[in-house]
Every structure is written in structure tokens, then in C-alpha cells.
Amino acid sequence: MRRPVFALALLAVLASPAAADEVLRLPGMHVGGTIARDSRGIPHITGFTEWDAHFLTGYAQAQDRLFQMDFYRREASGTLAELLGPAALSSDVQLRAIGLRRTASSSMNILSNEGRAALEAYAAGVNAWALNNPLPPEYAALELTKFAPWTALDSLAFANLFLLGQFFDDSDAGRTQAFLTYQGTGAAAGFDGTKLFFEDLARFEPFDHTTTLPVPASGAVRTAQIRAARPELYARAEAEARRLAALGVDGLINDWLAKVDAAPYFKEALNRGKDRGSNEWGVSGKLSATGNPMIANDPHLSLGWPSTWYPMAVQGGPINATGMGAAGVPFVLVGQTPYIAWGATNNPTDVTDMYVEQLVLDPTSLAGFATTYKGAKEPVLAIPEVFRQNNPGNGAMDDITVVPAGGAIPPATIIVPRRNLGPIISLDLAHGSAISLQYEGTAATREVDGFRTWNTAKSLADFQRGLTYLTIGSFNWAVADSAGNLAYLTSGEQPLREDLQANAPKGLPPYFLRDGTGGNEWMARTNVYPNQALLYEILPPAERPQAVNPAAGFFVNANNDPVGLTLGNNPLGRQRPGGGIFYLNYGYDGFRCARITQVLQKKLAGGGKISFDDMKATQADIVLIDAEVFTPYILAAWDHANASGADPALAAFAANQALSGVIGYLKKWDYSTPTGLAAGWDAGKPSGTAPTQAQIDASVAAAFYSAWRGRFAANVIDKTIAPYNLTPPGNDQNSTLPALRHMLDNFATLQGVGASGLNFFAVPGVAAAADRRDVVILQSLVDAISLLSGSTFTAAFGGSTNLADYRWGKLHRITFAHPLGGPFSVPPAFGQFPAPVAGLNGIPRSGGVGTPDVGNHPIRANTLDGFMFSSGPSRRYVADVGSASIHAETSLPGGVSALPTSPHYIDILPLWLTNTTYPAELAGGPTLPWAP
């Protein structure tokens, strides 16, 4: 795609904030209101009515983020190509199929009057700005002069897109493909491919067993039983794998994965390959220094430009909230009212199932076929689609043309009513099969009513009432209120599967492709819980993980397994109180919760209390929890190599001077990950200030350890399965590191040989298993040194022979990417934030894989930009909730305004980069006389 460059002069007219003391009375407002900007440009919005508050929210957001809003609503609606051009067409096709805008239309019908009015007021406000002011500079680059008026539906579609990014999960397809491949290859090559998948490599057991709530004793018993029952699961899986292979499912999966790969904006919308994690924790008044409950929250989202969140304070009518909204909806989504503070993390929950459908011809259908269920034909729906695209670069303004159907452009979306109105996403008419999608977000939901309820909340009970409106996926909530309550809550409507509820899983588990012809259905709804939207039976809300005023006095959640369902390496490992398998998700993050819990427990040891500053410092923690586990293995291997009588292959490492030097760094390492650069950005250390010697030493250790981690994974896993043309099941920490830990922690038993029968530590000529292990460990470190000192990393390290030059900050960098790239991204931000290190992309930043202040990168990174990260804390927030007031501080990775000419374009990014926070304040605007 063409990367436009702009004359800054074009931008000069675009920033014209409203005067602070002006009462705005715009056409479309009911009474009036004010927008006061604080020193960071954050709008403090006061509407004299609720309508006016939402109107002015739309007005302010359009003023600051109009292109971002347009981008997201079009992405959600499958019309992004009408903005960006042909490059977005493939994404439009997929997002049109999922149908977020279709769903938005049905959701509008079940919204409350207040919720609907809020969206309409917001839309009026957006248009009041957009239709009377110059468009942002992106439009000129795209040769567009018009902005299609915003509608309430756009907000709902955007909300659906946001939730899709959090909870839509098509990994069932890739997982099934991997399993089929492993199983089939194993059968042909003479190893147990099923166990290679389930036991050796694609482990569901998290890296660390720390949970948010205590694992009940009964759960532990059940976990043990399930461990024993796994052979039955494997036998079923193998049988189903054979059935699916006969149906040509591999082709269907490949088709789908190819479509996703070819659709960059769709992949981005799905957060594919990005961290969907977050941190939150709460400390009760009993354990806090102030005696008040405190919460901390940093949601980890894509760190693009402009930032995902839109900071704002808004009041009007019953609304009075401050925190983070999103440009596209009129509410504060995470933040506080005068009485309550809340934060959220993603609670990974399996609310997406993919089904293999068997098709029969049906001349009565527009699609020409029907699905079959229990042997009976079931009609599908065909929704005609017309795709359009902008044609930037040809010099013609507003040149939007229809794209004829054909090839990758379908004439219609095919809907399977049985699948919660989900689409067919892959079709193989030759085999008479298809993959359909069943996702919670393809039918009407009422999240917006929940958002509104929180923005009026005066108590924990009010907040909990708001949660009842949430359907799609699940969030973990950290909540504290002015009555002194501290709560860990989870939300969302988790569908119950018929076979799991009957304690008789059929075919493959729900985190694989399921059988669309019967036996794997979401159960029909028989119980209806307050404000339930999902038309299927759900897990009773009382059974969701939750604790009000937890006995421990604190809780931590960082996308980990909240109650330990997967600790036995089987997500179907526990039963519901009333029977049926208690299934929430197939896997969880096992890193950050462990580290944060570790930090808090250390603070609380010996009767200590946790202060507000402790909360902020914990958010800034950059310790690698996996390094705590693996580094002792490296050091033990080194000692082993240096021991007398070591195997010659092992002893050879002892003579490696560079290796010895790196070991020296690892020996004194505290597992932290500072940049170690004067040009780097660390907590409390802005770019331009020199790092301490301790930071430099730690950064060197972090660089070599992180490179070792990738080489170790490659040497242990990839090299072992490569001869069979197999690839690892993933390249992130959760798909790789639990397997490595399992192998090392259980080495005495396994001797390096997996349940599959494959030897992962095969070293020719070395007899003892422990020797082979240590050879692989040390060879991986030698490989890491070679990698970093080699030509690939010349721009970073110049092949230096001085180990002290290998600073982590030269690897771990971030670019805040704008959809149009080029000067719009940060760096360079039109020259306002140039890259701090010459020759290297991005901004050096502390943190690493699974650190609380996170900056995940692919585990097997081996390129100059491979250690860069693109998601992380999209907001930091700590609140001390007193009975009379809430003291809260926050930060944002970006500026409030997306306009390069605005003084608030990039002004608060340095605060985020140094973990500096600023007060979160309520709107505090004028009220009308006599108004409540």
C-alpha cells in the first residue's frame, strides 16, 4: 500500500479545541454542556443532560480521533476497502462474513431506550464535528473528501469489533490441523503423534500453577481422575481425526487459514499473534497501607497509533465517570465513578466453536445447498453482498467503485441458523463439506446497557447489575467501592455443550473442530438468567469464578487459569457442582499472575502492607518469571560442564570464553529486563539518561537469555520434529515454554524422551541423558551468542566482541503503528518522536516475555526486529478507593489527539514510557441550578 507523506501545512488548520469556558449549545443538543481540556488534552465533558453528555463525547472524540473511528467502524462493517482501498478487500470479505454489523442491527432491537438514546446522541455529536470541520490528514492521503455520517449502528459494530478482538478464537482450525498432522505423521513414522501433541508439545497445563482463587480440594481430586482418564480422550480424538481426514477437512482448514493470512486487517482485528492479556489485582483495606481497598489494572492490547483507548471524564444526568473510553462508543469502559473503581482483564473463555458441516444439494436455497443435522436437511441463508473499494493513488477524489463478485469476492454470505446465525467460512463443494462458525457475537447482545450502568454505578451491587448485560466472552473484573468492598468478578455468558454437560465428550474437544452433524451442540436454553441475551443454555452466573472480599485479602488475575481447571493438562478436568464438565477454556497465560503474586506475597510477608506506590511499582515490574525457572538449569549445566569427569562433549563448553562471559552475567542476574541504554526508556528513566551499571548488566543478561530461550526451543522442539516435516504448535510463550519446562522439570523421569517416544535431547555420541540435556542447554547459549554477534544483528551490536555491548534495549523495541504507516507511526510521528537509536526501528523499552510490564515477542525470535513487541499495557491504572473519594492515577501509551498538529498528539507518551502516572479526575464541570 502506498505510504502517503503529507505537508504539515495541510495539518495546521485541524486543531481548534473549544474554549475552556464556553458553554456549548450546538444544534442537536438538548440543553448544552461544556468540554474542558486538562493540561494533557483529556476532555472533561459535562452535559447538562445525559443526552448532551453523550453528544459532547461524540463531538470531542471526533475532534481528536475521527479517522480512527472511521477506520474501526468500517473494519467492523466490512467496508474498510471503501476507505483504504483494495488492500483491505480481503479483510472486508471475512469481516462481512462474520457479520458484526449484521449483529449490531439485531442488538439495536434489544437495547434499552436509554442505551439506544446514548448511541444516537453520540452519533449526533460525532456528526456535529465531522460535518462542520476539515477532515483529518489521512483522508487527503486516501483521496477522500467525504465522511459518511456516523450512526448508532456504527458504535455497536465498533463494540462488536472490540469484543471480537478479545474473544473470537479461530484457533480450533489450526489446532485441529496440527493434531491431524501430528497424529497422522506419528502413525506413519512409528511414534505416538497424539501424545506428541497433547503431552509433549501442545500442553494445556500453564507454565506456572498460580491461580486467582484457591483450587478447591474437590477440583484437585477431579484433576487427578482426569489425568488418569486421558487415554480415553486420546482414543476418541484419534478416531475423530481419522473421520475428519476422510472428509477432506485438511483442505477446508487450509482454505480458511490462507484466507486469514491474506487478510491483514482481519488478522489485526483478531489480534492474531498478539498478546490479548492484561493484569489486574486487588488488595483489601486490611492489607493496604491506607486501609482502603486498592485495585491496579493494565489491559494489554495492541499498542497502535493512535492508542486504543480514549481517555475522558464525562458527566451528565446519572452519568459521572472517568477513565478510558474508546473512540467509537460514548462510555467509560474501565475507570471509576465517584463511588467505585474497576479494571478488567481478558478471561480467556471458549465462546467460539468451529463445526465441520456436511452439505447436501438444495435447489430451493439461494446457496444451492443445505447443511445436515442428525440426518435431516437444514436450510442455510444467503445474504447478498456488494463490495466496494476506494482507489487512492489515481488522482481522482472520492473514487469508490464496486468490486465485481468472483474469485475471492463472494456474491453472498452463507449463514447457518443453527450456529447462532454464524457463517460458513470455508466451503468444499467437491467433498460436500464446510466449516461453519458458532460465536457468541453473531447474534444480538446488550453490552452497551452494561457500559451505561457502570457509568452510573454507586456501589458494587450497581456494577454487578451492569455485568449481567455482558454476553460475549468473559472479562475478569477488579472492583473496589466506597463501602470498602473488594471484588474479583467474571462476566459473560458461557455456553454449555451438550456432550460436555452429559459428561460424555463426543469426538474432539471443543477446542478443535467439532462435528456439525450432531452431538456437539450448544444446549438449547432452558434457564434464563437476568438480562441474558444468548439464546443457548449458559453456565449459571453463580458458578463463574468470583469472590467478593476474598479471604486471602488480595487477588491477582493476569489471564491465568482463575480456578485451576487446566492444571492437570486437560481443560476438561473438573466437574460443575451439579454435574457436567466445567469447561471454560483450553489454555491460559501462566506467567504474569505468578510474578505479581510473588511480588505481593513478598510485600505482605511478616505483616507488611501494600502502598499505592507498591501497586505502581508492581505494574512496572520487568522480571522474567521463566528466567527464574530456566536460568538455574543453564547455570547447573555450566557447572556440570566444568565438573571433573564431564563428558567430553559437555566439557568442551567450559573452554568457550564468550560462553563463560555470558554465564557470568547470568550468575548475577536478577531476571529483570532493563534496556541498559541511555537512549532507552525504562520505568523512571527517560531516554537520554544513563543506565546504572546494574541495569546494564541485567540488560546484557536479558539479551542473551532471551536469545537462548529461542535457540533452546529450536534445538529441543523444532530440531526433533523437523525430520518429520512437523512444525511446533506455536511460537508464543504459552505454546512453547510449558512444554520445555515440563521436559526439564520432569527430566529425571522422562530422560528427555517425550510421551510420544521422541527423544528431544538426542545428542549423538553422548550416552547419559543428563549430559545430553546439558549439552543442548549450553549449545543453545552458544547459538544465541553466535546469533546476536552475527551479521543479522550487525545494526544492533556490530558484531562486537565485548559482551557488555549486548544491551536488551537494542532488541526489545516498539513501534506504535498507524494503519497508514510511514510518518503517521511512532516513531517518527512526523519528526516529533524520531527513533532513539540510529539504524534501529522503534523505541527501546524495558520488559519482556511474560513480565508484568509486558512486552511479548515471538519465542524463537532470530531477526533484528524479531524481538520487537507491538502490544502491551494499553493503560495503567491504580486506585485507592476511600469512603469519601477515590485517589487514582493512570497513564496512556499515546496522546489524546490523533492530529499531528495538536499539542496533545504525543505529549503523554513519555509518561507511559517511564511508568509515570497522572491523576484520574472526574469531569467536575458546571451543573445547572436545581440539577441533581
Partner 1 sequence: MKKTSIAALVLVLALLALPAAAQVTTEIGFLGTWIHSTTTTVTNAQYDIGVKFQDGAGGGLFVDVRPWKLVSFELSGFYTRQSAAITANGSTLVSAGSLEAKTGVLEAKLHPLGDGTFDLYVGAGGAYAGFNDLTDSALDAAGIGTVTVKGKAGFAGSAGVRVKLGASAGFVVDAKYLALKPESQGASGPPTDLRWNPLLVSAGFGFRF
Cis peptide before 214 (omega within 30 of 0): no
Cis peptide before 149 (omega within 30 of 0): no
Nearer to partner 1, 47 or 580 (CB): 47
N residues, the chain: 932
Which residue type does 192 have? D
Q: How far is the CB of 59 from partner 1 (least distance, A)?
A: 17
Q: How far is the CB of 315 from partner 1 (least distance, A)?
A: 12
What is the 3-state secondary structure of 162-178?
HHHHHHCCCHHHHHHHH
Task: Work out whether 19 is an interface residue with partner 1 (CB under 8 A).
Answer: no
What interhelical angle do 625-642 and 693-713 show, nearest 10?
A: 80
Q: How far is the CB of 13 from partner 1 (least distance, A)?
A: 26
Task: Read off the DSSP letter of residue 916.
Answer: -
Q: How far is the CB of 451 from partner 1 (least distance, A)?
A: 20
Q: How far is the CB of 129 from partner 1 (least distance, A)?
A: 20
Task: Read off the DSSP letter of residue 422.
Answer: E
Task: Work out whether 25 is an interface residue with partner 1 (CB under 8 A).
Answer: yes
Task: Work out whether 27 is an interface residue with partner 1 (CB under 8 A).
Answer: no
Cα-flanking dihedrals φ and ψ of residue 812, to 5°? Answer: -90, 95
Within 13 Å and on the Cβ side, how many CA atoms surround 857? 26
Q: How far is the CB of 415 from partner 1 (least distance, A)?
A: 42
Nearer to partner 1, 37 or 742 (CB): 37
Cα-flanking dihedrals φ and ψ of residue 187, to 5°? Answer: -60, -35
Q: How far is the CB of 927 from partner 1 (least distance, A)?
A: 7
Task: Work out whether 49 is an interface residue with partner 1 (CB under 8 A).
Answer: yes
Residues 6+ apart with CB under 8 A from 463: 340, 342, 453, 454, 457, 477, 479, 481, 489
Rg (CA), the chain: 27
Nearer to partner 1, 23 or 523 (CB): 23
> For residues 753-772, which are near partner 1 according to CB under 8 A?
none
* Strand duo 514-515 + 352-361: pairing: parallel
Nearer to partner 1, 53 or 303 (CB): 53
Within 13 Å and on the Cβ side, how many CA atoms surround 807? 26
Task: Work out whether 926 is an interface residue with partner 1 (CB under 8 A).
Answer: yes
Q: Contacting partner 1 (CB under 8 A), which of 317, 330, 348, 680? A: 317
d(CA 407, CA 498): 38
d(CA 841, CA 820): 17
Q: How far is the CB of 113 from partner 1 (least distance, A)?
A: 15
Which of 614, 551, 596 lies closest to 289, judged by CA? 614
Nearer to partner 1, 802 or 927 (CB): 927
Task: Work out whether 578 is an interface residue with partner 1 (CB under 8 A).
Answer: no
Identify which range of 46-54, 430-438, 524-532, 593-601 contacts partner 1 by CB under 8 A.
46-54
Task: Work out whether 503 is an interface residue with partner 1 (CB under 8 A).
Answer: no
Identify which range of 20-28, 61-69, 264-272, 710-718 contacts partner 1 by CB under 8 A.
20-28
Q: Contacting partner 1 (CB under 8 A), which of 15, 18, 23, 220? A: 23
Q: Is 231 helix (H, G, I), strand (E, B) or coil?
A: helix
Within 13 Å and on the Cβ side, how many CA atoms surround 304? 20
Identify which range of 118-126, 132-140, 306-314, 921-929 contacts partner 1 by CB under 8 A.
921-929
Residues 6+ apart with CB under 8 A from 27: 128
Which residue type does 201 have? L
Q: How many residues bind partner 1 (CB under 8 A)?
A: 19
Q: How far is the CB of 928 from partner 1 (least distance, A)?
A: 5
Task: Work out whether 602 is an interface residue with partner 1 (CB under 8 A).
Answer: no
Contact 316, 398 (CB under 8 A): no
Q: Contacting partner 1 (CB under 8 A), which of 4, 32, 115, 136? A: 32
Q: How far is the CB of 322 from partner 1 (least distance, A)?
A: 19
The partner residues of 481 in beta bridges, in order of sequence, read 340
Q: Contacting partner 1 (CB under 8 A), which of 43, 44, 48, 473? A: 48
Task: Work out whether 59 is an interface residue with partner 1 (CB under 8 A).
Answer: no
Task: Work out whether 932 is an interface residue with partner 1 (CB under 8 A).
Answer: yes
Task: Read off the DSSP letter of residue 182.
Answer: H
Q: How far is the CB of 5 from partner 1 (least distance, A)?
A: 42
Q: Contacting partner 1 (CB under 8 A), which of 4, 11, 14, 34? A: 34
Nearer to partner 1, 196 or 923 (CB): 923
What is the 3-state secondary structure of 11-41?
HCCCCCCCCCCCCECCCCCCCCEEEEECCCC
d(CA 353, CA 503): 18
Report the Cα 490 to chain-centroid distance in Å: 17
Task: Work out whether 17 is an interface residue with partner 1 (CB under 8 A).
Answer: no
d(CA 143, CA 922): 40
Identify which range of 16-24, 593-601, 740-748, 843-851 contacts partner 1 by CB under 8 A.
16-24
Identify which range of 26-34, 185-193, 856-864, 897-905 contacts partner 1 by CB under 8 A.
26-34
Nearer to partner 1, 115 or 752 (CB): 115
Task: Work out whether 412 is an interface residue with partner 1 (CB under 8 A).
Answer: no
Nearer to partner 1, 22 or 670 (CB): 22
Q: How far is the CB of 46 from partner 1 (least distance, A)?
A: 9
Burial 31-43 (b: 16+ CB within 10 A, else e): ebbbbbbbebbbb
Name the site residues for partner 1 (rule: CB under 8 A).
Answer: 21-23, 25, 30-32, 34, 48-50, 317, 926-932
